[in-house]
């Protein structure tokens, strides 16, 4: 009997691994927005066509990348954010696994443009199926633009699995909202099919919540702030007076959006007796 085991080619291994990171356009929104935040951007634009199925682009004014880094960033396990296992315990960035861009490049056509402030020219890079198709110097503003085109063009089964544009767009707006809410000091815009859906000026958390959830929340929020030895909590909860309290719970720990039935229960307990048992208060709480 001949031996049976073969090593998968890189692009196939990347496609398989990508399945865990990029499930739908909204997964790429999360990864690309977080990379822009990690790059120290103060302005981040998200541009979408066809709910991200045709185009999903994030433009930032962050640190930019050198020519070599621009190429390296698409390799699996390529990261500038950790160097050793110990670093895992002091992570200050949103990303650290070095998998997002490798995954995106495995399942879409990607165009990257990036320039650091100290460089005269930027770098343009086109990647398809994890393969570099084009690399050349380009005149671009400082920062990075990453465009993901035709998601899953090379995996038709997965492309067919995507939901309607309306459903995928809802996921995109959810991810955008979560990141934008975590970083109110950053300007975010979201444009979909040429129409600007959000233009979020820099401001306080309260202003950001109102920008995202609507003006009517302004008078309905109570500020929460508590600093203990274990953690600092900051945020807003809906006033119990609202007759129909159907706000959504939003919890962030260290700037990461989390869902926690346990913590949700704790907040609900605090509302006990104050609101009908079938209604849900809105709250936005950040803990660090
Ligand atoms: P991770 O964020 O886990 O490090 P990614 O695949 O998301 O992995 O990114 C790989 C690397 O590419 C990052 O560590 C960073 O150095 C660089 N990078 C990615 N996006 C940007 C960006 N928008 N601006 C500057 N550098 C970036
Ligand atoms: Mg990342």
Does residue 256 share a domain with residue 193? no
Residues 170 and 33 in one domain: yes
Which of 73, 142, 145 has most ligand 1 atoms within 8 Å of its beta carbon, as the pocket-test mutant? 73
- Is residue 118's pLDDT more than 70? yes
Residues 190 and 263 in one domain: no
Q: Is residue 209 part of a domain?
A: no
Q: What is the pTM of this model?
A: 0.94
In a domain, 251, yes or no: yes
Separation of alpha carbons 221 and 24, rounded Å: 33
Count of domains forming the chain = 2
Confidence of residue 273 (pLDDT cuts 50, 70, 90): confident
Q: Is the C-beta atom of 122 inside 6 A of ligand 1?
A: no
E strand map for 61-213: 109-115, 122-128, 131-138, 143-149, 187-192, 195-200
Q: What is the pLDDT of residues 28-57, one digit of tens each?
A: 999 999 999 999 999 999 999 999 999 999
Q: Is the CB of 62 under 6 A from ligand 1?
A: yes
What is the pLDDT, as a whole number, of residue 72?
A: 97
271 touches ligand 1 (CB under 6 Å): no
CA of 69 relative to ligand 1 center, distance in Å: 9
In this structure, which residue's CA is closest to atom 20 in ligand 1? 35
Q: Is the CB of 81 under 6 A from ligand 1?
A: yes
Token code pair at residue 138 = 């380009």
Average pLDDT, the chain: 92
| 256 vs 95: CA distance, rounded Å | 11
Q: Is residue 205 part of a domain?
A: no
Mutate to test the pocket of ligand 1, among 28, 31, 32, 35 (most ligand atoms within 8 A of CB): 35
* Calpha distance 31→209 (Å, rounded): 22
Give residue 241's pLDDT. 65
**Strand order through the sheet with 187-192:** 131-138, 122-128, 109-115, 143-149, 55-60, 43-49, 187-192, 195-200
Range of the domain at 86: 10-200
Residue identifier of the C-alpha nearest atom 16 of ligand 1: 80
């Amino acid at each position: 009997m001949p031996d049976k085991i073969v090593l998968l080619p890189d692009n196939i291994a990347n496609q398989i691994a990508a399945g865990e990171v990029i499930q739908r356009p909204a997964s790429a929104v999360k990864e690309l927005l977080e990379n822009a935040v990690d790059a120290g951007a103060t302005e981040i634009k998200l541009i979408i066509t066809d709910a991200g199925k045709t185009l999903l682009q994030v433009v930032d004014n962050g640190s930019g990348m050198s020519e070599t880094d621009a190429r390296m960033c698409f390799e699996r396990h390529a990261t500038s954010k950790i160097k050793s296992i110990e670093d895992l315990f002091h992570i200050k960035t949103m990303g650290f696994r070095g998998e997002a861009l490798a995954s995106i490049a495995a399942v879409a056509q990607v165009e990257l443009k990036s320039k650091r402030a100290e460089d005269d020219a930027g770098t343009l890079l086109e990647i398809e199926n994890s393969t570099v198709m084009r690399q050349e110097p380009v005149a671009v503003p400082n920062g990075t633009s990453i465009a993901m085109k035709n998601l899953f063009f090379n995996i038709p089964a997965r492309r067919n699995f995507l939901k309607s544009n309306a459903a995928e767009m809802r996921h995109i707006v959810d991810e955008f909202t979560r990141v934008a809410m975590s970083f109110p000091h950053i300007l975010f815009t979201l444009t979909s099919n040429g129409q600007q859906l959000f233009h979020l000026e820099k401001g306080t958390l309260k202003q950001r919540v109102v920008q995202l959830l609507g003006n009517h929340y302004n008078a309905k929020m109570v500020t929460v702030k508590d600093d203990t030895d274990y953690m600092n909590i900051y945020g807003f909860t809906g006033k119990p007076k609202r007759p129909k309290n159907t706000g959504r719970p939003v919890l962030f720990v260290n700037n990461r959006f989390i869902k926690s039935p346990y913590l949700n229960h704790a907040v609900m307990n605090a509302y006990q007796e104050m609101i009908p048992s079938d209604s849900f208060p809105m709250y936005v709480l950040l803990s660090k």
